[in-house]
Amino acid sequence: MPADSGSGSRRRRTPTDAGFVLDTRSLGRAPGTMRELHRIVTTEGKLGLEMVGIPAGAQVELDLVLQSVSEGVLVTGTVSAPIDGECSRCLEQFSDEIELQITELFAYPDSATEQTTEEDEIHRLVDDMIDLEPVVIDAVGLELPLQPLCEEDCAGLCPECGVRMAIAGSDHNHEILDPRWAKLAVFAVQNGESAVQNGDDSAVPNGASRTDQSADSDSEEK
């Protein structure tokens, strides 16, 4: 969805004290006034990065203090949420939880802060409302790693066959199929076959020792 259509629909919506939108009118405007705010918000869409983020429909817990300051409303506290992600090493889905620390000033209209800063530097109060969603999105982006891991020490995938090493076990490995070794393997098979042809079927160990002896005598002749 293009960003324009999202912000357009948000502007048309009548501001209500719900979800990530916090009404500050009951706080008053006297500096130092505080109000605690505890709320569970169900996310409408995914918040976060491509590989990891707060999934849609998740319960995000806001544990905040709104404080009136001279330039606006200061929001501090924690935002806790479940996250879903895809491990960047083994590509498995995993779930976890994050706790984000929030400290954000929302400037009053016509305050000195509003006049001397850009909107993308300091958030604004709009119709006495705080929209916390972009703050949460920014905090999630800063908190979560670009290359998430299911476990700190995830062993990833086998570089040879792609199996998850956590499933395959630590003794999982592969015969080295270097082209030079492959030729030797073919030579050994041909040698084994000629030994069987020269001797009888029950004498494979003898055939093998005969090959060893001829190799020894070759080296002695040189």
Binding site for Zn ion (CB under 5 A): 87, 89-90, 150, 154, 158, 160-161
Helix (H) or strand (E) holding 57: none
CB-based burial of residue 152 (10 Å sphere; 0-12 exposed, 13-18 middle, 19+ buried)? Answer: exposed
- Which is nearest to 129 in space by CA: 100, 106, 113, 155? 106
Q: Return d(Cα 160, Cα 173) in angstroms, integer.
A: 8
- Please, which residue, 127 or 151, has the CB nearer to Zn ion? 151
Q: DSSP H helical segments within 13-150, as ranges?
A: 112-116, 133-143
Q: Return d(Cα 79, Cα 142) in angstroms, integer.
A: 13
- Please, which residue, 152 or 218, has the CB nearer to Zn ion? 152
The distance of closest approach from Cβ of residue 182 to Zn ion in the complex, given in angstroms and rounded to an integer, is: 18
The distance of closest approach from Cβ of residue 173 to Zn ion in the complex, given in angstroms and rounded to an integer, is: 7
How many Cβ atoms sit within 10 Å of the Cβ of residue 195?
18
The distance of closest approach from Cβ of residue 9 to Zn ion in the complex, given in angstroms and rounded to an integer, is: 38
The distance of closest approach from Cβ of residue 168 to Zn ion in the complex, given in angstroms and rounded to an integer, is: 6
Two tokens at 122? 């300091």
The distance of closest approach from Cβ of residue 92 to Zn ion in the complex, given in angstroms and rounded to an integer, is: 5
- Please, which residue, 83 or 90, has the CB nearer to Zn ion? 90
Please give the single-letter amino acid code of residue 177: L
> Which residue in this structure is represented by tokens 């209500």?
16
The distance of closest approach from Cβ of residue 22 to Zn ion in the complex, given in angstroms and rounded to an integer, is: 37
Q: Cα–chain-centroid distance for residue 121?
A: 27
